[in-house]
Amino acid sequence: MRYSGLRVIKEALTGHKGWKHAWRDVEPQVQYDYIVIGGGGHGLATAYYLARNHGAKKIAVLEKGWVGGGNIGRNTTIVRSNYLLDGNEPFYEHSLKLWEGLEQDINYNAMISQRGILNLVHSDAQRDAFVRRGNAMILNGADADLLSTETIQKRYPFLNVNNARFPIKGGLAQHRGGTVRHDAVAWGYARAADQLGVDIIQNCEVTGFRIESGKCLGVETSRGYIAGGKVASCVAGSSGRLMAKANMRLPIESHVLQAFVSEGLKPVLPGVITFGAGHFYCSQSDKGGLVFGGDLDGYNSYAQRGNLPVVEDVCEGAMAIFPMLGRVRLLRMWGGIMDMSMDGSPIIDHTHIKNLYFNGGWCYGGFKATPASGWCYAHLLATDTPHEFAKAYRFDRFEKGQMIDEKGMGNNPQLH
């Protein structure tokens, strides 16, 4: 069933009796050509692009809970492609382009809103860094716009550019960046994949891999053994836990990142704004709540909740840049588990075990990467060669010294 405005009107007039489930509830088959582990954004996108771009048949997505119950439903919904390094920028720009056409592609309203992202500059050195980043973005075909203090004051009159401690000296804007309704991305990809014949199997936890003489034959699950031609791990946040079942150690630590939503307000923020003197980013949802976040808690965690010192730090950031929010009440806060990699960049690669593939290490950047991650992972799975835009995301970049370290932090996962 295609969704359309006409369809909504027809259903409204006929008591909404014609809607069908967005995807089928299926029993697992005994064998698939492709088994994607993880029914989050990346896993569902991978299955969709495997079917759409490569004509693959017999694809299963195994999800231990429900579709979209992990980080795709826990992030701060921002999409952007404002990266510096060559290994990253073409990939994220491809992702942003896919976001721009996503709703028509999957026939689903994902509420994609290119309301723009602004990174504020507070010092001369920071402006130099952002000029360099903006130039790198433009060289890779993305849009970047260095805004003067005057322009910022005009467009964002609530910002105090003459703040004594953190004066605003300009900003780097990406006008094509913005926000996307995150849950709708999972649901939309699930529905689109299902329509191409992908089996989405919820409440099916992978409990082990069947590996014989260096080759992965299939997966043991809570719903029995499933044989697979190619098995693709796509469970960022739980990568360490899952790959330990294949006796693999990863260049990844799991950390918790908190996010926050305030009570609903009338429109106050015209786009995404990031504070340059602390770690704080904020946008306003269509419902009116301010959606914001900051740093990791900073120590290994698989608990999907955070601790109070980071709450204080994030709220201090908010008050430093938006003192007008001082009396706004916090509505909800939650935590999601990040695969923090050793250089802050992801991995989309083969493992040393034949027919076992890995996608993870997304750090903070997983949501915006969803379409390109699925696109490139599907390419790797179908052709056994890395996609042009993801060829730097290899396991062996650490031993070869080819790290993609945007922040220049070295192998300190909690600092990326």
Chain positions contacting another protein, by CB under 8 A = 240-241, 244, 249-254, 298-303, 307, 309, 342, 398-399, 411-414
* Shortest distance in whole angstroms from residue 389 CB to another protein: 24
Q: In sequence order, which residues have a C-beta less than 8 Å from that of residue 317 and are 6 or more positions away?
A: 275, 278, 279, 280, 294
- Kindly write down the DSSP assignment for every residue of 31-79, as one continuous string: EEEEEEE--SHHHHHHHHHHHHHH---SEEEE-SS-TT-SGGGTS--EE
The rounded distance, in Å, linking the Cα atoms of 214 and 119 is 47
* Shortest distance in whole angstroms from residue 411 CB to another protein: 6
* Contact indicator for 41, 367 with CB cutoff of 8 Å: yes
Q: Which is nearer to another protein, 47 or 243 (CB)?
A: 243
The rounded distance, in Å, linking the Cα atoms of 410 and 416 is 9
Chain-centroid distance, C-alpha 150: 33
Q: Which is nearer to another protein, 49 or 358 (CB)?
A: 358
Structural Rg of the chain based on CA atoms: 21
* Contact indicator for 361, 252 with CB cutoff of 8 Å: yes
Number of Cβ within 10 Å of residue 11's Cβ equals: 14
**Cα-based angle 35, 41, 45 (whole degrees, multiple of 5):** 60
User: Which two tokens mark 240?
Assistant: 């360490």
* Shortest distance in whole angstroms from residue 373 CB to another protein: 21
* Shortest distance in whole angstroms from residue 397 CB to another protein: 10
* Shortest distance in whole angstroms from residue 237 CB to another protein: 11
3-state secondary structure at position 321: helix
Q: Which is nearer to another protein, 273 or 337 (CB)?
A: 337
* Contact indicator for 71, 46 with CB cutoff of 8 Å: no
Q: Which is nearer to another protein, 18 or 410 (CB)?
A: 410
User: Which two tokens mark 18?
Assistant: 């014609």
Q: Which is nearer to another protein, 170 or 240 (CB)?
A: 240
The rounded distance, in Å, linking the Cα atoms of 21 and 1 is 10
The rounded distance, in Å, linking the Cα atoms of 79 and 112 is 9
* Shortest distance in whole angstroms from residue 224 CB to another protein: 24
Q: Which is nearer to another protein, 107 or 300 (CB)?
A: 300
* Shortest distance in whole angstroms from residue 300 CB to another protein: 5
* Shortest distance in whole angstroms from residue 131 CB to another protein: 32
The rounded distance, in Å, linking the Cα atoms of 234 and 223 is 19
Q: Which is nearer to another protein, 40 or 251 (CB)?
A: 251
Q: Which is nearer to another protein, 21 or 249 (CB)?
A: 249
3-state secondary structure at position 150: helix
Q: Which is nearer to another protein, 64 or 191 (CB)?
A: 64
Q: Are strands 224-233 and 252-264 parallel, antiparallel or unpaired?
A: unpaired
* Shortest distance in whole angstroms from residue 343 CB to another protein: 9
